[in-house]
Chain A
């Protein structure tokens, strides 16, 4: 299981709660009664997921490599860079997720007037897009 947390996956894996709240006001929140696949290994997530409650398992070779908790973001880097995910993401039952699609993310980048949102979300997203070729996002 994951130990070197901060240098893994995505730098937004734990985001300031006020930023999460701002993002949730913009995105769509959905509840999962039952577990299900969000995306498969090798695919680009079609939206980014902010896990608000419950758990998301990241699976590789049929093994759970990491379990995401509430307040973590998944798939944003891959979505904005058209990059394949190294994991299959499986959401567990009784979880709440906020979806952020590409259009919404571009809207946030274009129109956000919320300083914490710009500092903690928009700027890093832009930097990640620009420097995407130099990032490492694998769980070690």
Chain B
């Protein structure tokens, strides 16, 4: 018989790659240790699901590294991505507070390290540590702002403007500035995934991506996208207050 070889090496909150961006980052060392001891850390491979739309919420997921897509599947079976979650973000908090079933499916877009805290523990921490509550409120507010922007984009903007806006959003969340002033988007999305994020068909998206490339706004190498002309992109996105 083979022995169960190892206990998994635990990711300590104090050494978390997302340090500074997470909801627990303002906690003192001892308090962080308590969180570290209680959490369950798992690595999800690309395509593995953390939770599924319609399932019961277990607790709060805190993303340490990697990216996760939150997608909803409609009655027609079509998937639409509602949010991309990055290191430092939390997921599952909305269902946790409302006691609703998960409203979306969370799927790893690349190898992703995620820490899980059960509902009772997170509720205890929230009650005892106002900084955690404030961070969660801040996240919820940002999510709500993003959702409101998305709704207004769908109503007020055409596909070209929505695509330009998507590139700018991805630049903010996953952009890495290169020496030549362009930005490398450090997130690989399929055309289908990008299409669902702006509510259009893949064919339409492909047509507009070609247009963006021809105009020198973006460049592409395989699935990797570079923002080459941010100013023009801002113009095309027709963002308010620009």
Contacts and interface: CB of A to CB of B under 8 A. Distances in A.
A46 B41 CA distance: 9
A46 B49 contact: no
A101 B38 CA distance: 10
B120 interface: yes
A53 interface: no
Contacts of B182: none
Contact of B59 (A40, A43, A101, A133): A101
A104 interface: yes
Nearest to B3: A136
A83 interface: yes
Contact of A81 (B7, B58, B59): B7
Interface in A19-58: 28, 30, 36-37, 39-40, 42-47
A79 B10 CA distance: 13
Interface residues of B, number: 28
Contact of B38 (A40, A44, A102): A102
A46 B52 CA distance: 14
B75 interface: no
Residue of A39, A47, A81 ringed by the most chain B CB atoms within 10 A: A47
B1 A132 contact: no
B118 A47 contact: yes
B52 A28 contact: no
Interface string B1-38: 11110111010000000000000000000000000001
Interface in A43-98: 43-47, 79, 81-84, 86
Contacts of B59: 46, 101
A31 to B, nearest CB: 9
B118 A103 contact: yes
B42 A43 contact: yes
Summarize A's interface: helix, strand, loop or mixed: loop
A132 B4 CA distance: 10
B97 interface: no
Contact of A47 (B45, B49, B55, B58): B58
B8 A40 contact: no
A1 B175 CA distance: 50
Given A81-B7, A82-B10, A102-B121, A46 B58 contact: yes
Contacts of A123: none
Interface in A116-140: 132-133, 135-138, 140
A12 interface: no
Given A136-B1, A138-B1, 7 more contacts: A36-B52, A43-B44, A82-B40, A135-B4, A136-B3, A137-B4, A138-B4
Interface of B: 1-4, 6-8, 10, 38, 40-45, 48-49, 52, 55-56, 58-59, 116, 118-121, 124
13 contacts: A30-B56, A36-B55, A37-B52, A43-B42, A47-B58, A81-B7, A82-B40, A101-B59, A101-B119, A103-B120, A104-B118, A132-B7, A140-B1
